[in-house]
Amino acid sequence: MPGAKVFTILDAKCGFWQIPLDEASSKLTTFMSPFGRYRFLRMPYGISTGIEVFQRSMEQLFAGEPCEIVVDDILIWGQTQEEHNDRLQQVLNKIRAINIKLNLDKCKFRVNSVQYVGHLLTADGVKPDNKKTKAACDMPTPQEKQALQQLLGMTNYLSKFIPQYSDITGPLRQLLHQDSEWCWHETHDKAFARLKQALTNAPVLQYFDTPNMALVQYAYSEGRPVAFASRALMPTESLYAQIEKEMLALVFATKKIHDFIYGHPVTVETDHQPLITILKKPLHTASPRLQGVMMKLHRYHLDVIFKEMAGQPPQKKFHIPCVPSFQ
């Protein structure tokens, strides 16, 4: 969606009921009533596989069409009004051909910003949903573990907008350990305030653009990120050698953005020179632990290069900035 400036979102009305069931599946939905036995001819709400079946059906029906689909929401966009209108007409023609009914009250046509899958899509990029941000910022200071779990559950969904999220929430997560007693100190107040400030000042994320992407292994970059990701080390991982931590971070980053980079050659920029050396060596020359990590990277086309950070301390926090390093 790079360069998207005009958006339309369409909503499939009673989406599940628009998916017909075959004879065998229909019989599985049979239920008893005072008036006899009945079965659904269309996919009912409430079955465990309903969302997966509906999503797969919609993707198959709209394969090749200029739109994105998440369950019953159909998103169309364009860099210009003309491009958007052409795409919208193409999708509407497809909807008419396959006889999909729309909920006009939930459809939004030719707008400059739109709420989609919990985020705000704008001409500038992706922003967090203001309602979710406000709900998290308005939460009072947690007084018990359950309240803290609720807070972190809300902010974790928005963590892609927060640089160094694991560092910010580290003191708070320590209170959730099973062997930790609840004791709120000034350190937790500062972490709570930092988290709210990070949510308030969340950056605008760039739309993913395949020709202009690179995987960067440090926190500071000149490019515009499409997502931030970080996590804390497990107790055993904290005992790893530095090169093992570097490899662990690389595996974490590739797994986190697998959908972005799988099947494409990717440039990895790192400030840790030994990482480049170890990746160039034959697999059998590495330690058993590194062998396991390196095997997880073999499915990706990674070109690791050294890039020194001038004036900034090295930090292993990953984001994907929009820089012309994706071949």
pLDDT at 223: 63
pLDDT at 326: 35
Is the pLDDT confidence value at 146 over 60?
A: yes
Q: Which residue has the higher pLDDT, 191 or 315?
A: 191
Is the pLDDT confidence value at 14 over 60?
A: yes
Half-sphere exposure for 273 (CA within 13 Å, toward CB): 2
Confidence of residue 202 (pLDDT cuts 50, 70, 90): confident
**Long-range contacts, 299-304 (Cβ 8 Å, 24+):** 299/262, 300/254, 300/261, 300/262, 300/266, 301/263, 301/264, 301/265, 301/266, 302/215, 302/250, 302/254, 302/266, 302/268, 303/265, 303/266, 303/267, 303/268, 303/327, 304/268, 304/270, 304/275, 304/276, 304/279
Is the pLDDT confidence value at 161 over 80?
A: yes
Spatial CA neighbour of 160 closest among 211, 208, 214, 111: 208
**Rounded Cα–Cα distance for residues 139 and 294 (Å):** 42
Confidence of residue 317 (pLDDT cuts 50, 70, 90): very low
Give the lowest-confidence range in 48-52, 110-114, 157-161, 214-218.
Answer: 214-218
Is the pLDDT confidence value at 226 over 70?
A: yes
pLDDT at 318: 41
Is the pLDDT confidence value at 162 over 60?
A: yes
pLDDT at 27: 92
Counting residues of the chain whose pLDDT is more than 90, the rounded percentage is 34
Angle between helices 273-280 and 242-256 (to 10 degrees): 80
Mean pLDDT, rounded, for 209-227? 59
pLDDT at 323: 37
Given a contact cutoff of 8 angstroms between Cβ atoms, the answer to whether 176 and 145 are in contact is: yes
- Please list the residues that pair with 32 across neighbouring strands: 37
Q: What is the residue-averaged pLDDT of the chain?
A: 84
- What's the CA angle centered on 178, arms 173 and 184, to 5 degrees? 50
**Rounded Cα–Cα distance for residues 163 and 143 (Å):** 26
pLDDT at 275: 85
pLDDT at 7: 94
